[in-house]
A and B are shown apart, each in its own frame.
Chain A
Amino acid sequence: MDATSQKIITALRQKRLELAMRKGVEVFKIFQNKTIEEIAAKKPKTLEELVKIKGIGRSKLLEFGKTILEIVHSGTGQAIIQTKEDEKQPITVSEFLSRLNQILISQESLIRGEINQIKFTERAVYFSLKDKKDESVINCYLSQWKYESLGVSVDEGMEVVVNGFPEIYKPTGRLSLTVNSIELIGEGTLKKAYEILKKKLEAEGLFSRKRPIPRFVQKIGVISSRDGVVIHDFNKNLDRRGFKIFFYDSRMEGQKAAMGVISAIKFLNSQSIDVIIIIRGGGSFESLQAFNNENVARAIFGSAIPVICGIGHEVDVPISCLVSDLAPSTPTAVAIAVNSTWSELENKLPLLSEKLFNFFETALAGRYLALKSFIDKVSAYVGDFYRRTDTAAVNLVEKFAGIIESKYELIRTAEKLLAAMNPENTLRLGYSIVFDSRGRVLKNAALTRPGDAIKAKLQKGAIDATINEIKI
């Protein structure tokens, strides 16, 4: 394929995407790839030549014919040969309107005005855009999905700049502006939109959920502009803790900022990171529009990873900050907040180390003291034991001695008594003992009769005798 054809293909594809987006349809519904390739190969110069290409019907020819020929012309440099043939023939209303719309589509403009007579329906938002000077009016149509994708709240009286192209709505024949985007302008309008959104999201509870920033943050996703000084300030104020920073460059101001920030949040959520940081330096209320955008706010709320927002601002805190998990006032303060996720360890570690070794030292010292005191006790006890045993022995000996002594006394007394009791001692005094014939001691004279033999025992020897007379 030659370079010219390639150039035409690229240009046609670009135009196809543009048209598809405007009409809100898939690209293949505009032209198929085969059709584009055939156009590039045949390089038609007239509408007649163009209509012969497969995929270009009469309606397509009316709608896009001129545009296609212009692209082929800009690619080849060849002149477009306009034929007046078609204009001679009557055409239908629909065909006429299609032709007009084809011309009107090229009138895409940025139009400034005030929103009036706004009407919200399920499928679209209708309003009129009024010129404040001479009260000129144009009706506007904004599809619901596009409105939602814009993330701005519109209301009557708001001053806006809309981007759109004029189009005649065939069923009514009325001209209206198909709106692609809306930008709020003027302090009053922005403030009003801000208040509406703030109230809405607050009621939904988007501001009350605050997740803790993880401890010991290591991987940080940063969304900011490459060109700003903010990212440098942030880096400068981060401790050198071996942080891994994943920087996502995004516009932070203007129409593309909101989309950029949303894409960044989505992308970073697919990465394994600990925290997402959105930073921007201070600016006017108008320059911070992206951070008062509903879709940005919802993307922050929808992030599975906690978000820290550091956006310099004046009086009104940006909605993004209100919905984020943490919102220090400046990018520098964000860096400090990230650093502080480590302060628990920084503060606790020396304290815990000191405590641990102190406890053990104390415990060891206590153990030593306890052991020492035990040894002292044991030795004291042992000594005491000996002392106490000595005393006992003495006591015992003493006791025995006493017992022996007393028994000895007893024996001596007994001996004395025994000695005193011996009858033979009585005999020594001159007494005698008289026995009967049977050897019994005689104590009663009446128990004897004359003639009985008796025996008397004296101190020395004995006498056998016979009783002569009894005296009682």
Chain B
Amino acid sequence: MTPKNSKTDISQSLRKLEEIVGWFERQKDVNVEEGLKKVKLGAELIKELKKDLKTVENEFNEIKKEIEE
């Protein structure tokens, strides 16, 4: 199993993706070459983020208390 990204990474990736989509939204006339670059990066981000949404069993650890009452 590929390890999940940290929650900071996820926040950053999501923000980047939103920025890319925002960029497209703002463009009246998209520069195809720049657009292609951005779509490529966006697709990478989507791939990473989809990984984080995969169903993975939870891990349960009971804390071993060093000092017992």
Query: What residues make up the interface of A, taking CB atoms closer than 8 Å to B?
Result: 214-218, 226, 235, 238, 240-249, 256, 260, 267, 274, 342, 344-346, 348-349, 352-353, 355-357, 359-360, 363-364, 366-367
Contact = CB atoms under 8 A, between A and B. Distances in A.
Contact of B39 (A214, A346, A360): A360
A345 B32 CA distance: 28
Interface string B1-39: 000101100110010011011001101011010011001
Contact of A217 (B7, B42, B50, B54): B7
Contacts of A246: 61, 63
Nearest to B13: A345
B28 to A, nearest CB: 10
Given A214-B7, A359-B24, A240 B57 contact: yes
Contacts of A218: 4, 6-7
Contacts of B59: 242-245
Given A345-B14, A360-B39, A238 B58 contact: yes
Interface string B34-60: 011001001100100110111111111
Nearest to A243: B58
9 contacts: A235-B60, A240-B55, A241-B56, A244-B58, A247-B60, A249-B63, A345-B14, A349-B14, A359-B24
A95 to B, nearest CB: 37
Contacts, number: 110
Contact of B58 (A241, A349, A359, A364): A241
Contacts of B61: 244-247
Contacts of B56: 240-242
B53 A342 contact: yes
A356 B30 CA distance: 12
Given A267-B65, A274-B7, A356-B21, 10 more contacts: A215-B11, A240-B56, A241-B58, A245-B61, A247-B62, A345-B14, A349-B50, A363-B32, A364-B32, A367-B32
Contacts of B35: 359-360, 363
Contact of A345 (B27, B42, B52, B63): B52
Nearest to B4: A242
Contacts of A241: 53, 55-56, 58
B53 A349 contact: yes
A367 B30 contact: yes
